[in-house]
Structure 1
Amino acid sequence: MRPVAQPLLQWFQENKRLLPFRQEPSAYHIWVSEIMLQQTRVAAAIPYYNRFIQALPDPAALAACEPDALRKLWQGLGYYNRVNNMQKAARRVCEQYGGELPADYEALRALPGIGDYTAGAIASIAFGIPVPAVDGNVLRVFARLYNDDADVMQPATKRLFTRRVLDQMPKEIPGPYNEALMELGALVCVPGTPHCEACPQAGLCQGYAAGRQAELPVKPAPKAKTSVTVTVALVQSPDGVLLQRRPSKGLLAGLWQPAAWEQAMTQQQAADALAQIGVPVQWGEALPQARHVFTHKVWHLGGWHATAPACALPEGWVWAAPDQLARVYAVPNAFAAYMKNL
């Protein structure tokens, strides 16, 4: 195939979005943006990115941030393990590299939470190291360019596509090339029906020539998600709403939530469970049914409002006043339907 870089880079120069992390493309800024964008649309991530960088402007600040404050900064983005790993990586950067991300692909790859793609993005964009950064957008672009219907989720296919990306890379400007491929996949070579009429690669694209662009890339059918019933007690006292901290490992690790149990429960069973921590409840109206989709499971939530007297609580439970809900306690979006009016 003829080189794709020249028309791609010209298109990128004329059409790239003015994003905050492109205005100051330091290694730290690229790292934060790439971790946020793993599971979040660009438009949704930008206000979180700006707030995060203002509060934590460098790896040292991230490393030193109190964990609850860090999760509060991240609240709304979900997939909290991302930011937990970022803090672990920031601490290692401070311990081993003097507080600056290393200008070395393998060293970046060895940091917690940084995989092949993120290491490639940081290395190429921030440091000009000629390594590929192959995410889902780039896999889609190259599946169509080469009219390749191999399963892009298979490691062997990813390795083949990565070699193709590297073969086409102008080694003197790897950062703009990688960014241009990502941008093309985000704006033009989109999932489903791509905008081939606006694509700088249309004349080279074998999938387009074969009329197969909408069929590519090939992925296996997603696995069925597990359904889980979650019973919620939204308990309020004169001191605030009752919150419990989730376990330090597993789903939503370390976050705060209203009293909840991952099983179907009657009011009496929920009252008995709350009585065990010293909270006598008076039940109110039923909570509306809600649903939250995780990667591998779906929560089906329901339960009741309740009131209780202010009382002492065991470790791992708090009464959270409204201002504390706003400033201190990170509650996952799974409970947004119940927390938004508090």
Structure 2
Amino acid sequence: MKQETWSNQKTEKFREDLLAWYHSEKRDLPWRKNTDPYRVWVSEIMLQQTQVVTVIPYFNHFLSEFPTIKGLANAPEDKLLKAWEGLGYYSRVKNMQAAAQDIMERFDGHMPNNPQDILSLKGIGPYTGGAISSIAFNLAEPAVDGNVMRVYSRLFGIDDDIMLPKTRRVFEEKVRKTISRDEPGDFNQALMDLGARICTPKKPSCKTCPVKEYCLALKTNQVDQLPVKKKKEKPVPLYYVAIVLQNELGAYLLTKRPSDGLLANMWTFPLVEVDELTYKQLKHQEKFADHQELSLFDQVADESEVYLFSAMLTDYPNIKMKEYHHGEVTHVFSHRKWHILALEGRVDGLSSYQLKPREEWVYPEKFKDYPFPKPQQKLLSLLKKVENN
């Protein structure tokens, strides 16, 4: 499709029509109460790959816990992760804290007010930098996300694959040419609202679109063909067994994940990675009658993780495993899918157990103080459901 080029007059009329619609119909969102750069920053980071309806309560709670950049910079990690619990992609909030500490050191505790310095902060890329620059500081900087690429691909007939990194520059150039110089923040937010509410991926509301007269895809009956987006690869499956181990005092064994990598420093039941065959054998095992049934754990994918079983089976022969596993939970990350089988056991006489580094016995009433990733939350829900049946 040949991309369309607009005259200056058409561009100006487009700005006016889009902004008029936005001023009349914009969503009432808590981060739009004012243009404080910290609030803008927090909201934009939270909104990455997360729906607005999900973000709203998290945003309000986060601002109550960490109302300033200084408060974010000085926050204890466990408290920070707990406030983010359930949002996923935990590197986002860790990068935010690192950036806040950088702001305290380099910019006297104030968000810098030029795009170059904003982009120098950890975790802030072109989209977030453009959003902060335009909304908080009224700078005519593009903020191009998936919504904006979808809108502009249809408006101008851009059929470049939006999954390719180089394509972003095509859209950034288009937005930079059309963005309002007087109200760049409102213009960018108008595009976000338009993509979220009107120019949706499927069944867009073209009849009620405030800028439909500018849309080349609508004129050429190609709305459903744009944007061009290659299919995502299927996530790689990984298989785990969660050992839900309780001692005679009613506390559960939790382990803190490594300080780097996926779900860094989050707390979970001990997870042992197994290969697919082992997982399926365990899943379909009718009964775990004695320790010999657990010999399948000799086949775990990572031998370093088998210490939990070998140590306990050797030192504490009174481990009592439940006869049946409690079921399975799954969770999809961006490039991988976890399958987790919950196997529960009880250990008497373990109150004096010498905990290994990053292990703790935790009572259920204290779970609220520990940051849990989504898979762990799903495991807790599964156990609660089992208990109630």
| TM-score, scaled to structure 2 | 0.84
Q: Are 2:250 and 2:363, in contact at CA under 8 Å, matched by a contact in 1?
A: yes
Cα distance in 2, alignment partners of residues 69 and 276 from structure 1: 34
1:245 aligns to what?
Answer: 256
1:135 aligns to what?
Answer: 145
Provide the identity percentage.
36
Cα distance in 2, alignment partners of residues 260 and 156 from structure 1: 39
2:371 is the counterpart of 1:330: yes
1:37 aligns to what?
Answer: 47
1:74 aligns to what?
Answer: 84
Measured after TM superposition, the shift of residue 269 of structure 1 is 5.5
Measured after TM superposition, the shift of residue 335 of structure 1 is 2.4
| Aligned partner of 2:333 among 271, 288, 294 | 294
2:387 is the counterpart of 1:317: no
Partner-residue secondary structure (3-state), 2:239: strand
Cα distance in 2, alignment partners of residues 84 and 239 from structure 1: 33
Cα distance in 1, alignment partners of residues 215 and 311 from structure 2: 64
Q: Are 2:142 and 2:188, in contact at CA under 8 Å, matched by a contact in 1?
A: yes
Measured after TM superposition, the shift of residue 157 of structure 1 is 2.2
1:179 aligns to what?
Answer: 189
Partner-residue secondary structure (3-state), 2:94: helix
Partner-residue secondary structure (3-state), 1:203: helix
Cα distance in 2, alignment partners of residues 276 and 69 from structure 1: 34
2:127 is the counterpart of 1:117: yes
Q: Are 1:192 and 1:215, in contact at CA under 8 Å, matched by a contact in 2?
A: no
CA RMSD of aligned residues (A): 1.7
Cα 1:101/1:276, change in 2 over 3 Å: farther
Q: Which amino acid aligns with 2:68?
A: D
2:266 is the counterpart of 1:255: yes
Q: Are 1:277 and 1:314, in contact at CA under 8 Å, matched by a contact in 2?
A: no
Q: How does 1:98-109 map to 2 (within 5 A)?
A: 98-109=108-119
1:26 aligns to what?
Answer: 36
Partner-residue secondary structure (3-state), 2:200: coil
1:53 aligns to what?
Answer: 63
Cα distance in 2, alignment partners of residues 25 and 269 from structure 1: 57
Cα distance in 2, alignment partners of residues 40 and 53 from structure 1: 18
| Aligned partner of 2:219 among 205, 209, 233 | 209
Gaps of 5+ in 2: 1-5, 283-293, 299-305, 385-389
Q: How does 1:145-156 map to 2 (within 5 A)?
A: 145-156=155-166
Q: Which amino acid aligns with 1:15?
A: E
What is the total number of aligned residue pairs between the two structures? 341
Measured after TM superposition, the shift of residue 235 of structure 1 is 1.0
Measured after TM superposition, the shift of residue 52 of structure 1 is 0.3
Gaps of 5+ in 1: none
Q: Are 2:253 and 2:270, in contact at CA under 8 Å, matched by a contact in 1?
A: yes
Partner-residue secondary structure (3-state), 1:124: helix
Cα 1:29/1:165, change in 2 over 3 Å: same
Moved more, 92-101 or 257-266: 257-266
Partner-residue secondary structure (3-state), 1:253: coil
Cα distance in 2, alignment partners of residues 286 and 336 from structure 1: 17
| Aligned partner of 1:283 among 316, 321, 326 | 321
Cα 1:35/1:162, change in 2 over 3 Å: same
| TM-score, scaled to structure 1 | 0.95
